[in-house]
Amino acid sequence: MKKVALFVAALVSFPAALMAQGMFGPGSPPPGVDQKDAEFCLPSQAADEAEIVTLAVEEPNRIPLMMQFGPRPDGPASLVTVRGGSGTPIVLHLISKGSVVWDLREVSSSRIKGVLLYTSERNVYSGVAGLSDDVPIEYGAGITGRYHAYEIECLKVPALADLNSLPTLTKAMNVRFGKSPARMYATPDGDAFDLDEGIIDPIEVEAPVPEAVRSIFPVKTLDILPGEAGIHQLVMQGSLKPFTRQDAQSWAAAGGSLSSAFSIDERILMQIPSGAPEQMREQMRDRIASQDKNIQVYSGYFASSKFTLPTGFRPSPNNAIVLAPDAEITLTDDRLGMLPAIYRLSGLDPENIQTSGSAPDQPDRREAFSGYEEEEPRHAFEATWSGDKVEISFPKMEVSASPAHGEEETSWAWLLAVALGVLALVLGGLVFYFVRRR
């Protein structure tokens, strides 16, 4: 009956999706994806003699791996390690927000009867290392608990790592496999689990080789990490040196001058396609020419030799790239956004260009927008199912017995309140006594 209800609801909401198949919807899957992998649905019988264990992470803190998944990779994958536990047969429900490689090398493949490998974000994909080819994997991306009609016979269990998802998780598991999960371990930024003990401290392991990782998409190896992570990698390698506003001011005082590293025509192509109306191009040309008359940088990174700019990094006056006179830069993105701050420093001997080595100061500007509220921190939790009941604990939450700031004032206020309360009771008793005497 539950399946019928879900099917009717999905049919009303998504009538066009009725004939769609697989995790990518109608039609053929993207290049590099096997049709069988895209359409595979883990049989419900896989959990008949096995426990279901959900492991959930959002975005682990561990240094990213040099690999990516997907046709439009959003970022590098992070490693999450899993230890074996007692040896009970299990179906693993592995969910994450970011791209993850789940390291199962310490878990016996014979123990694992199947894997549900999901992410909560569309176009974000994960992989599994250390799993033999005969263990079935069902893939899913953008799994948030809203279903299409074509998913009813292969109901995707929500890939959300928060307490609010527990009721939906329980219902979806019962519809799909006829049982609730045995346990769920969830952490916003952790990167290590034990299948029996739950969330554990990080484990130092050697990163798996790309050939040992199973994923819906082929694994793409990286020479450099994308975005800010790649910039930090170049700093560690010595290819880039952070500079501050004081450094830029000292360059100018010594006779140095900044100019764009690219011509106006090159910068126009970085922002608008070549087939754009000529009027738009001329407006952009005038704007860029005006900007070139007053170039200012506040912080960023200085390069004295050839390097490749990481994909996804967008230079700005607060995060600029400044090149030495003979330094070269290779771009990996065709589009760099509005007025990319990549400049060349001239008028100074490269040997005499000094930097402080301080990282650029990039304050969080979200608070300047009206209505901005900082998100409440998420806590790691462990959930254990027993019949219709769920027991929840918070293993990583520290509860301190020491009073917070202002302990002395709080204690005195509490004592004063107690004293006043006692005094009020005494006075009330006296009034009551005299009234009765009359």
Query: What is the predicted pLDDT for the residue at 5?
Result: 41
Burial class (CB in 10 A: 0-12, 13-18, 19+), 285: middle
CB atoms within 10 A of CB 273: 10
pTM: 0.71
- As a whole number of angstroms, the distance between CA 251 and CA 353 comes to 7
User: How do the pLDDT tens digits run along the chain, 438 residues long?
Assistant: 444 343 333 333 333 333 334 566 656 677 778 888 888 999 999 999 999 999 999 888 887 888 888 766 567 889 999 998 778 899 999 999 989 999 999 998 899 999 999 998 888 899 999 999 999 999 988 877 665 544 566 778 888 878 888 888 888 899 899 999 999 999 988 899 999 899 999 988 999 999 999 999 888 888 888 888 889 899 988 999 999 999 999 999 999 999 999 888 888 888 777 777 888 888 888 888 888 888 888 999 999 999 999 888 888 888 999 999 989 999 887 767 666 889 999 988 877 788 887 655 554 433 433 443 445 567 788 888 887 788 888 886 654 444 444 444 445 555 555 566 656 655 555 554 554 555
Q: Which secondary-structure segment (H or E) carries 265?
A: helix 264-271
- How many residues in total does the chain contain? 438
Structure tokens at 273: 């396609």
CB atoms within 10 A of CB 218: 12
Q: What number of CA atoms fall less than 13 Å from residue 147's CA on the CB side? A: 21
- As a whole number of angstroms, the distance between CA 117 and CA 37 comes to 12
Query: What is the predicted pLDDT for the residue at 399?
Result: 45
Query: What is the predicted pLDDT for the residue at 126?
Result: 92
3-state per-residue secondary structure call for 148-210: CHHHHHHCCCCCCCCHHHHHHHHHHHHHHHCCCCCEEEEECCCCEEECCCEECCCCCCCCCCH
- How far does the chain reach from its first CA to its final CA, in angstroms? 75
Query: What is the predicted pLDDT for the residue at 339?
Result: 66
- As a whole number of angstroms, the distance between CA 316 and CA 346 comes to 19
Q: What is the DSSP string of 73-125?
A: --S--EEEEEE-TT---EEEEEEESS-EEEEEEES-GGGEEEEEEEESSTT--
Q: What number of CA atoms fall less than 13 Å from residue 125's CA on the CB side? A: 24
Q: Residues 404-428, buried b or exposed e (16+ Cβ, 10 A)?
A: eeeeeeeeeeeeeeeeeeeeeeeee
The residue to which tokens 């992998």 are assigned: 37
